[in-house]
Amino acid sequence: EVQLVESGGGLVQPGGSLRLSCAASGLNFRSYTLAWVRQAPGRGLEWVASISAASVTIVYSDSVKGRFTISRDNAKTSLYLEMNTLRDDDTAIYYCARDKWDDYGFHWFDPWGPGTLVTVSS
Amino acid sequence: FSLTQPHSVSESPGKTVTISCTRSGGNIDKNFVQWYHQRPGSSPTTVIFGDNQRPSGVSSRFSGSIDSPSNSASLTISGLRPEDDGDYFCQSTDRDTQAVIFGGGTKLTVL
């Protein structure tokens, strides 16, 4: 069974930084594209970034480009999201998910982890 | 581009409901559409991918379709059950930029 478990969320001040991690098990991690998707409290889903299996292709949403960095360590079967210059509107639950872009040629996300909450507030 | 969904729909158990997702900017039939179901406090799960494909384990009560003239996608759920309650999100991609967009979500209430 595929499991994705996020960690690293918490309270951070505006302008601060935070690093999220996603530990994966039960899948051939080094073969799969992975993604971060977030959801502000009571709001809809927003894709953040995707990274291909060998980190060759990385894409970001316009809202985080230049502030967030997605990366992965295939040896540790872990996905990361380095978040800098955080703003109030970055407050959200951050989910990691397998992005099936590599298998299907289009982005769709399955499965998803339970998420980790990031709160940006002074 | 953007994807627009109705804010909420409601229907009785056993009935059929259809949720729409209208694309503004770009053609709906040039970019595959996915649908996700999210119950309160839980992560989303996929009910439809590739416009009309069901992942393994998803009930045949769920079906997806595309209507090119209206530039929209639809999710139809038949034989509604209480567990179908929750939020449904459509999602698609801009093939040129690889940007991924979700619709705003539709809250389904099974009365």
The interface residues of chain B toward chain A in range 35-64, judged by CB-CB distance below 8 A, are: 36, 43-46, 49-50, 55
Rounded Cα–Cα distance for residues A81 and A35 (Å) = 10
Q: How far is the C-alpha of A3 from the C-alpha of A86, rounded, in Å? A: 28
Q: Summarize pLDDT for A1-28 with one digit per residue, the tens.
A: 789 999 999 999 999 999 999 999 987 8
pLDDT class of B26 with cuts at 50, 70, 90: confident
> How many whole angstroms separate alpha carbon A62 and alpha carbon A73?
24
pLDDT in tens, A33-82: 999 999 999 999 999 999 999 999 999 999 999 999 999 999 999 999 99
Token pair listed for A90:
């970055």
Cross-chain CB nearest to A112 (options B44, B98, B101): B44
Identify all chain A residues contacting B34, using CB atoms and an 8 Å cutoff: 108-109
Residue in A59, A62, A108 closest to B49 by CB: A108
**Distance from the A18 Cα atom to the nearest Cα atom in chain B, whole angstroms:** 22
Tens digits of residue pLDDT in A88-98: 999 999 999 99
